[in-house]
Amino acid sequence: MKPAGILVLSNIKNIKTAITEIKKLIKNLYIHLNIPSEVKVQVPQWSSVIREIYLDSSYYDSTIDVRILVDPIKKQKFSELRNVQHIFCDGQFSEICDSLKKFYQIDKPEVILSNETRPCFEIDCNNAENMEYKTYDTVVLGGTFDRIHTGHKIFLTEAVLRACKRLVVGVTDENMLHNKTLTELILPTEQRINDVKNFLSEIDSNLQYEVVVIQDAFGPTKSDPNMDMIIVSAETYKGALKVNEIRKENGLKELEIFTIKLAEADIDENNKHKESKISSCNLRMDLLGTLLQEPAPRVNLSKQPYIIGLTGSIGSGKSVMAQRLGEMGAFVIDCDKVAHEVYEPGTPAYESIIAHFGRDIIDSNNKIDRKKLGAIVFNDSKELEILNNLVWPAIMKEVKRKISELKDVKIVVLEAALLLRAGWEKECHEVWSMIISPNTAIKRVQERNKLSEEEARKRIENQPHNKEFVKKSNVIFSSEWSYEYTKYQAEKAWKSLCDRIAGF
């Protein structure tokens, strides 16, 4: 577990300096707001300050997981936090630092980041009777909550600020996520639930939390009589109105609705396909071209050349990606072309195929007629398995021969649609996969192969599911967007690969 630290923050203007210093030591940071004792405002009025801190800290360094503690705002006891090893302070506030060091059993002295001696927070105390400053016994909200990001933190903290006793959070089940972008990269439901629970229990340990999986858009709101307020984003406001409509039909009181402004994302030229808001979709897009899981040790392989297995379903853009990687410096072996070679007369595979399937599959040139062979194997799964067992080892044997003859080649890319089915990932240091949505795949196969939608759909359904590629891959790409964006992913992956193998 990475070491964590607590920043006693007395002035929001010190965030940039604090993040710059702190990121050298930790990646998990809890912010304890040092609130002057004379400041008397309603708890929800801190929301604008918290929002600004989250946005600023993310802007200055998005790699640090920042969590703002609500306990100090509510004048409650310290939360039980994980692995706290450092105390930082943006001023000379020894009393509170001593208390934190004692509670978290930290021996080392706090790190003083400035010479300030008085806390300073600017809080808007006007319109104190406005509904947005009210608190409620039970607050409810819902979402996907895939990989807790700045937008989630603001959303959840707003709910915590307004809840006096109980907070109910609905987390959408996987069956509701089919239309999400890069749905295959969404974390499992149980992990998302645990991530929400951990975040909430850390920022405020004094509320009753109910984090539940929801199978529809309404979850417990349609039946729980003890809810008081629902928190939504601007884009889901109509959903809150529908919740109240259903509650009224069920004889339940309508919920107060609090709408949160979405946090805008910082989009550069390379990421113009992203959403304009901070979102999980954008985070999943950021994962493309990055190392999602460490490569498994391959003691059967030499360190050089470093072998990348490139795979993906039909229409996903494997060949274009292979070409890109070749232009960057990889030696590319097209396993489909190698497969044609092993069918040629005189090869061991040729003789084995004829011995099993007979000479009726040979054409006038003494070559295997693959259409005749296909008519046999694609109508009989056992015969197809026999053919695969004859051909796949022969293909890999030829691939290994080609690799053994290479001189001064650092990186080899094996382009192979059958990589995972054939078990060839064991012959690669890493597996890189292309994925696209089924609808996009169907359109591409229709256009490329001049097929009907039904015919194209059948071909796609016979391919491994995208989740299988994600599960068994180290790096994932998607050609769902523009040529330039896919190229950007490739360049990112190539640079990361070169850095990883530089010491080999």
Q: What integer is the mean pLDDT of 159-184? A: 94
Position with higher pLDDT, 269 vs 466: 466
Question: Residues 6 or more apart from 20 whose CB is under 8 A from it?
Answer: 60, 61
Give the pLDDT confidence of 333-362 residue by residue, as tens digits: 999 999 999 999 989 999 999 999 999 998
Q: What integer is the mean pLDDT of 421-429? A: 96
Q: What integer is the mean pLDDT of 477-500? A: 96
Find the farthest-apart pair of alpha carbons in the chain and give their distance in angstroms, rounded: 97
Chain-centre distance of CA 488, in angstroms? Answer: 18
What confidence tier does 433 reach under pLDDT thresholds 50, 70, 90?
very high
Chain-centre distance of CA 37, in angstroms? Answer: 41
Helix axes 381-404, 348-357, angle to 10 degrees: 170
Q: What is the pLDDT of residue 124?
A: 62
Q: What integer is the mean pLDDT of 472-498? A: 96
The three-state (H, E, C) secondary structure of 211-229, written as one string? EEEECCCCHHHHCCCCCCE
Give the pLDDT confidence of 88-120 residue by residue, as tens digits: 999 888 899 999 999 999 999 999 998 888 888
Q: What integer is the mean pLDDT of 399-418? A: 95
Superfamily of domain 288-500: P-loop containing nucleotide triphosphate hydrolases (3.40.50.300)
What confidence tier does 29 reach under pLDDT thresholds 50, 70, 90?
very high
Q: What integer is the mean pLDDT of 127-144? A: 81
**Where are the strands (E) in 398-454, listed by range?**
411-415, 430-435
The answer, yes or no, to whether residue 129 has pLDDT greater than 60, is: no
Please give the Cα distance from 453 to 442 (Å, whole number). 7
The answer, yes or no, to whether residue 225 has pLDDT greater than 80, is: yes
Mean pLDDT of the chain: 92
Phi then psi for 403, rounded to 5 degrees? -65, -40
Phi then psi for 475, rounded to 5 degrees? -135, 140
Q: What is the pLDDT of residue 128?
A: 44
Is residue 318 classed exposed, middle or buried when 0-12, 13-18 and 19+ CB atoms within 10 A define those classes?
Answer: buried
Q: What is the pTM of this model?
A: 0.90
For residue 34, what are its two tokens? 């040092």
Q: What integer is the mean pLDDT of 401-430? A: 95
Neighbours of 445 (CB within 10 A): 22
Cβ atoms 413, 330 nearer than 8 A:
yes
Is residue 364 classed exposed, middle or buried when 0-12, 13-18 and 19+ CB atoms within 10 A define those classes?
Answer: exposed
The answer, yes or no, to whether residue 494 has pLDDT greater than 90, is: yes
Question: Residues 6 or more apart from 181 whose CB is under 8 A from it?
Answer: 281, 284, 285, 480
What confidence tier does 130 reach under pLDDT thresholds 50, 70, 90?
low
Locate the domains of the chain by residue range. Answer: 1-126, 135-286, 288-500
Q: How many residues does the chain have?
A: 504
Exposure string over 39-62, b if 16+ CB within 10 A, otherwise e? eeebbbbbbebbbebbbebbebee
Q: Please check whether the domain covering 135-286 is classified as CATH 3.40.50.620.
A: yes
Give the pLDDT confidence of 245-261 residue by residue, as tens digits: 999 999 999 999 999 98
Alpha carbon separation from 499 to 291, 296, 298, 481 (Å, rounded): 12, 17, 19, 27
Query: Does the N-terminal peptide bond of residue 220 adopt cis geometry, omega within 30 degrees of 0?
Result: no
Do 135-286 and 288-500 agree at the fold level? yes
CA dihedral sign, ordered 443, 447, 448, 452? positive
**Closest-CA residue to 391 (of 444, 340, 438):** 340
